[in-house]
Amino acid sequence: MIDRKRAWAVVRKDWIEVSRNKQVVAPLVVIPLLFAAVIPAAVILGGNSGILASTITGLQSFLDNLPSRVVPSGYTAEQTVVYAVIVYFMAPFFLIIPVMIATITASSSFVGEKERRTLEGLLYTPLSNRELVLAKVLGSLIPSVLLTWAAFVVYTLIVNVLGSPVMGGVFFPTWTWAVIVVVLVPSVGFLATCLIVAVSGRSTTMQGAQGSALLLVFPIIALVVSQAAGLMLFDVTIALIAAVVLVAIDIAAFRFIVARFDRERIITRL
């Protein structure tokens, strides 16, 4: 049984520590804004410009391999580019946002405690292993999900304000994006955070934890970026299947990490 008050106290403590670190806070703002504002604005304003396709890595390949069925009939060349990029090309990048944010925040979960010399006291608290690991995961997962959702709101506003004159009206979001944002974002973020927290417990420095974390989450990034390369397209069916699989993996990963969590080993390495 998890004591929510004890776990939540650790979560709040971690948020306070993160908010005091400007080197951590800055990327948390810049990364979502890049995907939510800068790229979509460039896509809509650039239209079907060849410069745009050559600037964004993988965009030309994506457009060349785009099945005709995924774009509504009757669109002009410019409308086709805008719709394909906004609705399909950008989708996997919103799964990368929680992963990147988790890499920044979760990598300091245990190793940050070591550097601040507060880990020993934390490990001797009455919190169970499950409560402690869950608190560390939620401390990074909640900000990563909330920031991604905020980025999605900004993305939706920019896309519809700038894109409506080009597309002839509001065209975003779609049902696929609803599944991605509501279900896949938390699922991907939870898995990435669990893996990074596990690495953090075994690392001796924050830089080492972040380096190892990037290697661990690379398969997740490679999977979602495969759409940008034209290897697959997210639709409602694929998004729902991915959500079910990820939830099952999330549960298994969390249980495995809790089972492998060894306070004595961590204390001896302080």
DSSP assignments along 155-197, one per residue: HHHHHHHHHHHHHTS-----HHHHHIIIIIHHHHHHHHHHHHH
Q: Is the pLDDT of residue 132 over 90?
A: no
Average pLDDT over residues 242-250: 90
Name which of 157, 174, 37 is nearest 97 in CA terms: 37
Burial of residue 194, with CB atoms counted within 10 A of its CB: 0-12 exposed, 13-18 middle, 19 or more buried: buried
- Dump pLDDT digits (tens) for 29-88: 888 888 888 888 887 887 655 555 555 555 666 666 677 677 777 788 778 888 888 888
Helix axes 236-260, 129-167, angle to 10 degrees: 160
CA dihedral 115→116→120→122, nearest 10 degrees, is -120
The predicted pLDDT at position 83 comes to 86
Which residues fall within 8 angstroms of residue 82, CB to CB, at 6 or more apart?
Answer: 43, 44, 47, 163, 166, 167
The pLDDT tens digits for 168-197 are: 888 898 888 998 999 999 998 898 888 887
Q: Is the pTM of this model over 0.75?
A: yes
| Inter-residue contact 42 to 33 (CB < 8 Å) | no
Task: Say what percent of the chain tops pLDDT 70.
Answer: 68
